[in-house]
Amino acid sequence: MKRIGIIAKQNKPEAIPLIGHLIEHLKLKDIDFYIEDSVGRALPAFPNGIRLNLIRREEIPARVEMVVVLGGDGTLLSVARLVGKYRVPILGVNLGGLGFLTEITLKELDKVLEKVIEGDFIADERVALQAAVLRGGEKMADFIVLNDAVINKGALARIIDLETSIDGEYLTTFKSDGLILSTPTGSTAYNLSAGGPIIYPSLHCIIITPICPHTLTNRPIVVPDDVTIRVVLKTTQQEVLLTLDGQQGFMLEYEDVVEVKKSETGILLIKSPYRHYFELLREKLKWGER
């Protein structure tokens, strides 16, 4: 591996010395590195003629063989949307809180990075979703998400009606505060908070979870990821928003269609060689503690 990108969470001061450490380490290995310009400008001057390649975040995936992400799950989600079509693996280093996706700890970073540079690593391919908004048959927006696409009512809105079908077969009309369409990776995010199941991240499926359904028998349902899910907004005069990975938003109108299906390309996440997914669940969700 000869070209590595470095992206860090904005306004995270502790990332600056860590990036400096990475740069010196990579330089000794004769590896080219590309740093997000907005972060790189905060770095101090380096001795020994080390030259910084500062480029825009959007340009990094096309130039590298791997991206190191320093931050929390939110930072990794934003990077995942950029790297998808390039199939560049992501090494997520946790500088945040919970960190289901950024599972590499600071203590492990040097050892894991050595293994990755030598090609000794395993990358999980995670299912991503493509979510499109159709209005009068015309595509108004198109998004790629790693966690979830969420249809949610505004703060003052009443229950909304969401007519849902799978591959053209009518499922039901959810009367609820909203609907979560989640990947297995996103099953431990909003889906879990709304009472949805935890799904092993390498499984190929999509989770449909109603948010506070008016009918208590409306429960989450897991479907194969080779289907197309269409959700039609059947409520008028309400503020309804489509939210993508909790980071992008699109305002919906009456009879807008949200069409969700598996993306053609998945997201490659480099696994920690020091812990299994079940250990991660126990650690993050405090299972077994009293």
pLDDT digits (tens, 9 = 90+) for 239-273: 999 999 999 999 999 999 999 999 999 999 999 88
In this prediction, residue 276 carries a pLDDT of 87
- Taking a C-beta distance cutoff of 8 angstroms, is the pair 141, 252 a contact? no
Give, to the nearest 10 degrees, the angle between helix 109-117 and helix 15-28.
40
In this prediction, residue 280 carries a pLDDT of 86
In percent, the amount of the chain with pLDDT more than 90 equals 66
In this prediction, residue 128 carries a pLDDT of 96
Q: What is the pLDDT of residues 112-156, one digit of tens each?
A: 999 999 999 999 999 999 999 999 999 999 999 999 999 999 877
Across the beta sheet with 267-270, what order do the strands follow?
53-55, 32-36, 3-8, 66-71, 90-94, 267-270, 123-126
pLDDT over 90 (residue 221): yes
Mean model confidence pLDDT for the chain: 91
Average pLDDT over residues 59-68: 95
Sign of the C-alpha dihedral computed for residues 185, 182, 168 and 257 taken in this order: negative
- Taking a C-beta distance cutoff of 8 angstroms, is the pair 205, 224 a contact? yes
- Taking a C-beta distance cutoff of 8 angstroms, is the pair 190, 180 a contact? yes
CATH, domain 3-126+266-285, list 3.40.50.620, 3.40.50.2300, 3.40.50.10330, 3.30.470.20: 3.40.50.10330
- Taking a C-beta distance cutoff of 8 angstroms, is the pair 12, 71 a contact? yes
CATH 2.60.200.30 domain position(s) in the chain:
129-262
User: What gap in Å lies between CA 285 and CA 29, rounded to an integer?
Assistant: 38
User: What gap in Å lies between CA 267 and CA 61, rounded to an integer?
Assistant: 12
Reported as a pLDDT band with limits 50, 70 and 90, residue 48 is low
Catalytic residue among 37, 73, 142, 148, which? Answer: 73
- At 264, list the tokens: 């053609």
Reported as a pLDDT band with limits 50, 70 and 90, residue 38 is confident
- At 119, list the tokens: 């090609």
> For the chain, how many helices (H) and strands (E)?
6, 19
Residue ranges of the alpha helices (H) in 194-289? 277-285
- At 247, list the tokens: 């980071």
Q: What's the pTM value of the predicted model, to 2 decimals? A: 0.91
In this prediction, residue 98 carries a pLDDT of 66
In this prediction, residue 9 carries a pLDDT of 87
In this prediction, residue 47 carries a pLDDT of 57
3-state secondary structure of 89: coil
**CATH number listed for the domain at residues 129-262:** 2.60.200.30
pLDDT over 80 (residue 215): yes
Give the N- to C-terminal CA distance of the chain in Å, as an integer. 45
CATH 3.40.50.10330 domain position(s) in the chain:
3-126+266-285
In this prediction, residue 160 carries a pLDDT of 94
Does the active-site annotation cover 73?
Answer: yes
Give the angle subtended at the CA of 285 by the CAs of 247 and 92, to the nearest 5°: 50
Residue 191 — φ and ψ, nearest 5°?
-55, -45
- At 145, list the tokens: 């998400």
